[in-house]
Structure 1
């Protein structure tokens, strides 16, 4: 047997008022007499009516949903970021619609269009890239959402969106200078993609540290990855085949660092006895396995919390266009566990 759901028409009939009056009561309008309101609320209780959040939000042309777009859900960094976002949404009766772009620009644009159709109230996004060829169309799509947008970790050129970022230059600088103080001179970097600001900034920090310490930049020791495990693995294999290999490797993110460690382990290269190593971002699995890998650590969950708090402020302001752009830059911490040592 199928039981028909209770509708506002049923409530109107039972309380002997119009459907419009019931709707006003449900929307907490002050245009309904108290006596009439009590009669409607009594009917609602007796009929055990539960209004649909979806239907109510559609009737108001808004939802309690915010969109979150990240490039790689498999990356533990973004898992922690999402936790930070969720800790704020949960306290504010907001829902999160999560999209994983898989570092694909076209997929990212499709998700943004989909989120627009879902009538999200705001968007937190880590863009896939910010190259000039892609940028103009991308900016137009984000601006046409007509909702507050907060960038997280990666920037968009020429935009005035709010954002939460990390000082990747100083974090990388500290790591490379640490290698140098240990006596390393041949230091390789597995860089992120130069189409992203973190990729460019970490390479800048590497070059700056070498230059400031009087070490010539050798392009042979610069390897360009894509923030994925496979590229860290393959590029480390290339490093190990060099006629004049480095004594230390800096890896620009956690997933490539995992790939690097895999390649070193397979080749029976000991850390740090045969190769010193510092990575960007914590890898909790390595800590659990008691692998003491030095890292540039960042306040990951805090980045998500701050981004969501900025978005919440914008939602409460009830306007999208605001000249007072909020761009927060957090500082990383170099955590040394011994893998940076020079034992030769």
Structure 2
């Protein structure tokens, strides 16, 4: 039979209210009485119920995390950073994966509200109707701290941690240009998302800075998924004036590109150069040296969690809005080279 607060009170010879004060660290309790209660708790091997505690305090020691792609290592590393800081502050995490679905995101928000969580960290999907969308209104009405982890927000009153996507794409395109590439294809992410727009702008700025005309035929609009990138790469390989390099705007799209190149016996970088956005650990393991733009993902998670904890310490009216932008890093591994048969 489970041990209850009443059992602790009886063993310690105190009231149930006094035991509750000790368990919730609320209200004054004499030192000797507190020690007697703690000893009884230890002897009876009592474990307090998180559910019961949430009912009495109207909150839990839990943070909600909502991401769009749990199978993407980009978000896996962000969660790792979040978890590291959460552990340091004895906070628990509830994780939701939305598969880029606004309906699933809205459902997750409503479920988290029912769980009496302390705060939310979220990578938003791409709201076509802007800040008036139902789930953004739901987010605002939760009345708890919210921290954005990258993603798409045209305007909001939420703190967040972001990557400088424009700089990352600019640096990656410049790396290809320095190798001698002028025919550079880009496969964007979902173009209604801010990261995709900023990455495309970075690509265009790099071309303009080097007096290379922007060829709209080399701009392909993807969706961050490998399936779409696979089909687009097939089209690129069939072009009469074929590009000498492909810049894929996500790690998952790089996988789609590589699959298509492999099927057509295209060797990287001899026949086609390629560079991606975000690293793919699996490619490193099997020795495929693909150059990429590395977002500081673990640091994003840690920084975002620290922002949330800062907000938890302050009342709503005194919470400070903070937007932190982290710089990505260009990692060149040879796939950006302009050599051999790709000089068409």
Q: Determine if the TM-score, normalized by the shorter chain, exceeds 0.5.
A: yes
Whole-angstrom distance in 1 between the partners of 2:26 and 2:158: 35
Alignment of 1:67-216 (within 5 A): 67-132=64-129, 135-216=132-213
What is the SS of the residue equivalent to 1:150? strand
TM-score, normalisation: structure 1 = 0.93
Whole-angstrom distance in 2 between the partners of 1:45 and 1:276: 64
Whole-angstrom distance in 2 between the partners of 1:164 and 1:40: 44
CA contact (8 A) 1:162 1:325 kept: yes
Instruction: Check 1:34–1:301 CA distance in 2 against 1; reply closer, same or farther (3 A cut).
Output: closer
Gaps of 5+ in 2: none
Whole-angstrom distance in 2 between the partners of 1:102 and 1:23: 42
Report whether the alignment pairs 1:341 with 2:337: yes
CA contact (8 A) 1:139 1:159 kept: no
2:304 maps to 307
Whole-angstrom distance in 1 between the partners of 2:153 and 2:44: 52
1:257 maps to 254
Gaps of 5+ in 1: none
Whole-angstrom distance in 2 between the partners of 1:29 and 1:169: 49
RMSD value, Cα: 1.9
Deviations 1:18-43 (A, max 9, x none): 33233233333444445654554454
CA contact (8 A) 1:135 1:157 kept: no
Whole-angstrom distance in 1 between the partners of 2:135 and 2:336: 40
Shift of 1:211: 1.8
1:6 maps to 3
Whole-angstrom distance in 2 between the partners of 1:308 and 1:276: 37
Whole-angstrom distance in 2 between the partners of 1:322 and 1:11: 39
2:219 maps to 222
1:272 maps to 269
1:27 corresponds to which of 18, 24, 27: 24
Whole-angstrom distance in 1 between the partners of 2:309 and 2:176: 41
